[in-house]
Structures are given as structure tokens and as C-alpha cells.
Amino acid sequence: MPTLRHLLLLGCFASLLLPSCQSDTSSHTEADSTETSAPVDTLPASTPRRSDALTWHRVEHPTQANAPLIRPGAGRRTVAPRDTAAPPPAEARLYDLTLKASEYHKIDPTQLAEVRGREGTVVRIPAGALVNSRGEPARGPVFVELKECYGLADRLLSNIVSETTDDQLMIPGGAVLVHVTGSGQPLHLAEGHTVQVELPAATRATAQLYHGRGGRRQPIRWVAAGPESVVDNQIYSEAQPMPMYESGPAALNKLVRYPTAAADSHTQGTVYVSAVIDEAGRVLTPKVLRGLGSAFDVEALRVLRQSSGRWTPGQREGRFVKVKMLVPIRFTLPDAPDLLASADSTSAPAPTTPEADAEIPATDRQAFRVGQLGWVAAARPRPAAESVTTLTATVEPDTHTSVRLVLHDAATIVLGQPTETGYEFVDVPANKKAALLGIRYMSGTPYVAVREITTGRHSNEPLSFRETTLAELEKLVQELE
């Protein structure tokens, strides 16, 4: 019998023979027809490199092993935390859209400048009068903003009322904004300097000057200026500088026409004319003091009248004044050299004579000396009424609504104060024809309410607002004048 030892040897021999009996494994395996898809951001190694191929995925020059580590954002400035306590941007209000447009004039602050508005306002700024916030004289070109509000509609739609800051009613004559900027920064008047603001006939002859007060989006109310703001009517015989016509005497001589009727006499000479040049550069009361004959004297007066309004006015202590002067008008034959072109002097002060002291006729304009830029107005205090009343415009008050009372007798605009029951007008003249004007602006749409009343006898019916357009609103307000 086989022993256990023989069985173990037989098993080991069988295990050695078993692999040799299996078929040989093929040394070549066919490629699988299903290729494994590579990631979309890689390129197979077998793909040949193209000279014009995209290179963003290849590293041409590997980073050096000892290169410093750059952390993204390490060089950025720290962003300040957002101010969550700051108020959100304010919603547009109707007065932002109806505010009258301004005119802008470019001037040289180192030269005497005169700015003329479309509605007749004249602003004269002396040389060197403008300084920046550090008190340094303005250099380079500056821009003068001029806004003229003479009519009732302009004042209503520009958020201007006819009240002082202490609630005194006014009879308005016109309001003007004068604002100056240089290098994008606001400029101010240097200490001791003033500008002259001349207002047209729309103002009252006895009006006084007021300065406007009011913050952004607040109604413009007024503070009376001192009596020294009114330009006096004193006439001076000397000024520094003296008045001058445009570029000088030669420019004035270009206006002269040699009288044809006197050509045969071959007369040459100078006609001396006495005249007053006022703060507006106008020629007042010209009078021949020494002439060459009727034809020459008439021509000299014609030249002076033609030049009126184009003179640079004289100044005393930085303000414009009226100056009486003697203006020489020279006549030369057409073929003779112009003697005036070589003259080195301007007109001389006129001697004081009874003829030259003739009264200057009243003009339709009024000039003020203004010591601070901003809103200015010509107005008079409204006389105390025989009786007063308090009325309320019944409408729920909110930040989107404003109500004005317009007194028709003097175009006085009164500001309504919001209360629990509406907008209240305290101590207004009684028994006056007036109009209640309510304006509301919500979600980009204007609304308006108008009611004609007699103060002290009006009803308390609520104001009825209706939707409108900016063009219709402007037309409606103009009809209140």
C-alpha cells in the first residue's frame, strides 16, 4: 500500500504538470474597439504639436523650483467695509426735474468780467475777486453759473418761496443764482470784494437785496442784506480805473464819420463831450462842452449814444460807480492819418460845471453790490395786512407732496407747513384772491391739484390730485400769473 509519503510526493508532481497542460496565452492582444474617453481638458500624448495650436494649456517654461510663492489677492488693498448705516440714495423729487436750467459762462478771473443773462441780468466780477477754499486767488478759466427766475412759474417750479427765514412775507421782484467754479471746485469772493448784480425792469424800483437760504431739496427762503448792498447814485469825477470804451480811444474813433457837409472846409480837430458812464457801461446825459460846429457836434453826440452799453465802467474800492468824464471825439479828413490811434490816454475826468451836473434820468434797472455768491433776490417786505387768517389745505401730508398758496395781487408764494390735518398757512392776508397749488411726485409720475380761493372764505374740501405731465404742469403754472 502506498504510504502517506508516497501520496504527498504524487500530489506535488501533479501540481507541477498542471500549468504545462494549459493553452499558451497570446502575446498580442487586439485593441479594444471601445476607447476610454479622456477628460475634455486634456490632450492625448500622441497628438502632434501644432505651431498655431492653442497654447494656453501648455507650459512653455516651467516655474523654477525655488521661485517665490505668490498668493492671489496678497497685493490687493483692503476694501473698506460697506457702510450699512448710510442712507440709501434719495428718490428723485419733482423739483429736481422742473428746476430752471442754468447758463454757464467762461471767464478769466484775473480780468474784469461781465456776464449777461438771457433775461437781462448783468453780473460784473472785478479782477482778482475770486478765491478758492484755501483763500488762494483763482487762476485759469472759471465758469459762472447763472440762473434767472423772474416769472411766477420759474419761481414756483424752482422751489422758491416769498418768505424770509423769520416768516415775513415779501413782494418779489426776481431771483438770480450766481455760482462760480474753478477746477471743479466752488469759488468764493475774497474778503472785502463784491460783485455787482444788475437786475432788469422786472424788479421793483424800491426793492432791496435778499440772500437765499435753503439746503439741498429745501425751499429757498430769504434773509435781508444790509443797506450798503444797494448801489448809490453818487457821481464821481475820478475812478481807478477810469471807464474805457472796448479796447481804447482808437476803437471809439472807428465809429466817427466825417460830416460830408463839412468836407469842403477841410476842418480837423476835437469835439469834447461831457458824459456820465454808469455801472452798466451806459452813456448818460452827453453834452458838448467845446465843439467844432453843428455838423461835428451832432456827429460826436451820435458816436457817444452808439457806444452806450459797451463801456467798461469805472471802479472805486473794488466796486463799480458812475463816473463823469470828458470824452474827446477827434475828426480827421479821410485822407489824413488817424491821430487818435497814437494817443496814449483815455478820456479825462470832466470838470464840474452847471451844464454837466444835469440830473441823470431814471433807468429801468437796479444794481446791487453782492458780498456772497449764491441766490440773490430783489424784493420788498409785504405791508402788514388789515386782517389775517389761517387756512388749511386738506390733504394727507407726505414727503412726496408740497402745497403752495399764491396771492395773486403781488405774486407772493407762501409755503404750506404740514400738520396732522393737511398743510397749514398761518397769518396770511385775509380776503385776497389766491390759488392753492398742490404738487405730488410718486413712482416717476407727477400729480397736480389747483383750487382758486379767497383767503378767509374758502372751503375745507380736500384737494383733488390728478395725474399730469411735466409739460402740462408747466403750462398750468404759467396760467397762474
Q: How confident is residue 345, by pLDDT bands cut at 50, 70 and 90?
A: very low
The residue with greater pLDDT, 241 or 25, is: 241
Find out whether 462 and 436 touch, Cβ atoms under 8 Å.
no
Q: Residue for cell digits 466780477?
A: 125
Q: Tell me what pLDDT residue 223 has.
A: 93
Q: What is the rounded CA–CA span in Å between residue 127 and residue 32?
A: 95
Peptide bond into 241 cis (omega under 30): yes
As a whole number, the mean pLDDT across the chain is 79
Q: How confident is residue 355, by pLDDT bands cut at 50, 70 and 90?
A: very low
Q: What is the rounded CA–CA span in Å between residue 253 and residue 108?
A: 27
Q: What is the rounded CA–CA span in Å between residue 320 and residue 100?
A: 29
Q: Tell me what pLDDT residue 459 has.
A: 74
SS (H, E, C) 327-372: EEEEECCCCCCCCHHHCCCCCEECCCCCCCCCCCCCCCCEEEEECC
Q: Please check the confidence at residue 257 and state whether its pLDDT lies above 60.
A: yes
Q: Please check the confidence at residue 169 and state whether its pLDDT lies above 90.
A: yes
Mean pLDDT over 120-139 rounds to: 90
Find out whether 333 and 229 touch, Cβ atoms under 8 Å.
no
Mean pLDDT over 225-249 rounds to: 80
Which residues belong to CATH 2.60.40 in the chain? 384-478
Supply the DSSP string of 55-110, one letter for each residue: -TTS-SSPPPTTPPP--TTTTSPPPPPP-TTSPPPPPP-HHHHHSPPPEEEEE-TT
Which residues belong to CATH 3.30.2420.10 in the chain? 235-349
User: What are the tens digits of pLDDT across the range 435-472?
Assistant: 999 999 988 899 999 999 999 887 778 899 999 998 99
Q: What is the rounded CA–CA span in Å between residue 343 and residue 396?
A: 74
The residue with greater pLDDT, 412 or 98, is: 412
CA atoms within 13 A on the CB side of 129: 25
Bridge partners of 368, per DSSP, are 197, 230
The residue with greater pLDDT, 267 or 3, is: 267
Dihedrals phi, psi of 140, to nearest 5 degrees? 75, 175
Q: Tell me what pLDDT residue 344 has.
A: 37
Q: Which sign, positive or negative, has the C-alpha torsion 459, 460, 461, 465?
A: positive
Q: Tell me what pLDDT residue 278 has.
A: 86
Q: Tell me what pLDDT residue 93 has.
A: 72
Give, as one character, the DSSP assignment of residue 260. G
Q: Please check the confidence at residue 157 and state whether its pLDDT lies above 70.
A: yes
Mean pLDDT over 58-69 rounds to: 63
Neighbours of 111 (CB within 10 A): 10
Give, as one character, the DSSP assignment of residue 385. P
User: What are the tens digits of pLDDT across the range 78-100?
Assistant: 555 555 555 555 566 777 778 88
Which whole-number Å values give the CA distances from 181 to 104, 149, 220, 257, 309, in the listed order? 10, 21, 21, 44, 27
Top CATH class, 235-349: alpha beta
Looking at the whole model, is its pTM more than 0.85? no
Which whole-number Å values give the CA distances from 424 to 411, 414, 465, in the listed order? 19, 10, 18
Which cell is 196 given? 455787482
The domain defined by 384-478 folds into: Immunoglobulin-like (2.60.40)
Q: Specify whether the backbone of 177 is left (phi greater than 0), alpha (psi in -120 to 50) or beta.
A: beta
Q: How confident is residue 407, by pLDDT bands cut at 50, 70 and 90?
A: very high
CA atoms within 13 A on the CB side of 24: 3
Q: What is the rounded CA–CA span in Å between residue 140 and residue 185?
A: 13
Q: Please check the confidence at residue 25 and state whether its pLDDT lies above 50.
A: no
Q: Tell me what pLDDT residue 361 has.
A: 41
Find out whether 135 and 456 touch, Cβ atoms under 8 Å.
no
